[in-house]
Amino acid sequence: MATRTVAVVLAGGVGERMGAGRPKQLMEVGGRPILAHAVGAFDAHPGIGEVVVVMAPGHLREAAAITAPFAKTAAVIEGGATRTASTVAALRLLDDRPDDVRVLFHDAARPFVDRAVIDRVLGALDACEAVAVGVPSSDTIVVVEDGTVASMPPRETLTRFQTPQGFRLGTIRKAYELALADPGLRATDDCGIVHRYLPGVPIRVVAGSERNLKVTQPLDAVIAEHLASEEAP
């Protein structure tokens, strides 16, 4: 039977904010590349049938070597210039799959996604077409315009999105089809594309985890090393 659930690990970025001189997903934490942690989490999950890795240009061979030990790695493909373009590359690869296939998009830069978070996304996808993962904000978040506070949304309404974000393939495909026809397309995640271009589709939010951090700045690498040491057997 064809795979019903595909995890796409987005590793097409160059890690500019990390400033390591190479993509941060190739950096090691706990003795393993960040990419291996992320792919390993989906490989180990019984609800995931295959894993597609979208890698930064120039690093495909390295990514293939890192992910080869994982039995569910189905493809390592080249990403685009933006996260959005990397998602589109994965959707093109999945072009011939039926609309009811479930697809999870995950940042390779989040090495500590755990089974419970993936469980919640898959569980919600049984009843929903789009699912996000979020954690409450501990900080007060404000909108600043021209150096001045323009608005202060009530903190209890604010949620920090993480990944994986899960979709019925037909839904995310349609949302991107509309998005790609929009010359003003700008997005920082895949739920943002559904929210903007398919506003009638509810996006269910399930609980993420504070451990599911995105390794973005140099300090995050220090925190990630600490988290990895806690996980070591």
Ligand X SMILES: C[C@](O)(CO)[C@H](O)COP(=O)(O)O
Ligand Y SMILES: Nc1ccn([C@@H]2O[C@H](COP(=O)(O)OP(=O)(O)OP(=O)(O)O)[C@@H](O)[C@H]2O)c(=O)n1
Residues that bind ligand Y (CB under 6 A): 10-17, 24-25, 54, 79-83, 86, 107-109, 214, 216
188 binds ligand X (CB under 6 A): yes
Cβ contacts of residue 156 below 8 Å, gap of 6+?
A: 136
Query: Which residue, 3 or 135, has its beta carbon nearer to ligand X?
Result: 135
How far, in Å, CA of 15 to CA of 86, rounded?
14
* Total chain residues near ligand X (CB under 6 A): 9
Candidates 29-37, 48-56, 160-168, 173-181; binding stretch for ligand X (CB under 6 A): 160-168
CB 106 within 8 A of CB 221: no
How far, in Å, CA of 137 to CA of 229, rounded?
26
Which residue in 214, 220, 223, 225 binds ligand X (CB under 6 A)? Answer: 214
CB of 136 to ligand Y, least distance (A): 21
Phi, psi of 30, rounded to the nearest 5 degrees:
60, 30
Which residue in 129, 168, 189, 221 binds ligand X (CB under 6 A)? Answer: 189
Which of ligand X, ligand Y, none lies near 217, with the C-beta cut-off 5 to 8 A by kind? none
3-state secondary structure of 71: coil
Query: Which residue, 112 or 161, has its beta carbon nearer to ligand X?
Result: 161
The tokens for 46 are 């019984």
Which residue in 43, 50, 62, 107 binds ligand X (CB under 6 A)? Answer: 107
CB 6 within 8 A of CB 125: no
Which of ligand X, ligand Y, none lies near 30, with the C-beta cut-off 5 to 8 A by kind? none
Query: Which residue, 3 or 216, has its beta carbon nearer to ligand X?
Result: 216
How far, in Å, CA of 49 to CA of 43, rounded?
8
CB of 71 to ligand X, least distance (A): 27
Query: Within positions 76 to 105, which residues make up the interface with ligand X, using CB under 6 A?
Result: 83
- The single residue listed with the structure tokens 């210039």 is 81
24 binds ligand X (CB under 6 A): no
CB of 9 to ligand Y, least distance (A): 8
Residue 95 DSSP one-character state? T
CB of 148 to ligand Y, least distance (A): 27
Phi, psi of 139, rounded to the nearest 5 degrees:
-90, 155
What percentage of the chain's residues is helix, strand, coil (to nearest 5)?
A: 35, 25, 40
62 binds ligand X (CB under 6 A): no
H-helix or E-strand spanning residue 17: none
Residues that bind ligand X (CB under 6 A): 83, 107, 161-163, 188-189, 214, 216
